[in-house]
Amino acid sequence: MPGRYHNIDALPRTIGIFPLTGVLLLPRAQLPLNVFEPRYLALVEAALTGNRLIGMIQPTEHEEKTLKPQLSAIGCAGRVTGFRETDDNRYLITLTGICRFRVIEELVSDTPFRQVAADYAPFAGDLAEGGDGEFPRERLLAALNDYLTRRDLKADWRSVMNAPAETLVNALAMLCPFEPAEKQALLEAPSWPERVNTLLALLEMASTSSGSNAVN
């Protein structure tokens, strides 16, 4: 999907955003969303009639505390690649991650959803196909096994063992119940090796912390 966008000039400088705490979208990863709030229904409709792009971004404070929470500095643009309307007027969509962006400023707009001016230049490399490169799969699998066991969680190990490196790392980064700040750290990792190292650190640190609590 990023291959449809050959360079950052093909991406919109203004993008409607979907602020959501604890939700992460990474380039080339897919994120299913159940959309029901009127302002975000409007966002999806605008995307579908326009460039099909939506900016996923985490607020720095929870949406329940304020109607217009402050935004993180960095989000990820995703293209609507799946869409279904339900009988109760919800949209079930799938976003495929295209490229991260830095928020230049939030724009004054008469739309019910928020819009920002986006700078993709620092993340132009997101448009290139990811590669496995050097990948510590065995260490990651061991850390994941310990992490899941301590939380009594299950995994489809056949899929985990066979998944391409980038697919596996993206899926774990998006699906593991990390804290919002930890998810943001995964998003902001400047390079593929740094994202892998961040994921490993989070998995191993969480397991160490759990073990410490059990002893205490």
Whether residue 25 is found in the same domain as residue 100: yes
Q: Are residues 101 and 205 in the same domain?
A: no
Per-residue model confidence (pLDDT) at position 58? 97
Q: State residue 152's pLDDT score.
A: 84
* Per-residue confidence (pLDDT) for residue 214, from 0 to 100: 45
Is 42 domain-assigned? yes
Domain with residue 76: its CATH number is 2.30.130.40
**Which pLDDT does position 211 carry in this prediction?**
53
Together in a domain, 10 and 110: yes
What range defines the domain where residue 116 resides? 2-127
At residue 153, the pLDDT reads 80
Q: Are strands 30-35 and 91-107 parallel, antiparallel or unpaired?
A: antiparallel
End residue of a domain, out of 127, 145, 162: 127
Which ranges of the chain have pLDDT less than 70?
A: 1-3, 63, 130-133, 207, 209-216
pLDDT at 130: 66
Q: Is residue 132 part of a domain?
A: no
Q: Within this chain, do residues 83 and 118 fall inside the same structural domain, yes or no?
A: yes
Residue 173 · residue 184 · CB < 8 Å: no
Asked if 41 and 57 count as a contact pair (C-beta separation under 8 A), the reply is: no
Tokens 């966008």 correspond to what residue? 5
Q: What is the per-residue pLDDT for 87?
A: 96
Do 159 and 90 sit in the same domain of this protein? no
Q: What is the mean pLDDT of the chain?
A: 90
Q: Give me the pLDDT at residue 209, please.
A: 66
pTM of the predicted structure, to 2 decimals: 0.90
* pLDDT score at 160: 83
Q: Are residues 36 and 141 in the same domain?
A: no
Write out pLDDT tens, residues 85-137: 999 999 999 999 999 999 999 999 999 999 999 999 999 999 987 655 678 98
If one counts the domains in the chain, the total is 2
150 and 117 share one domain: no
Q: In percent, how much of the chain has pLDDT > 90?
A: 74
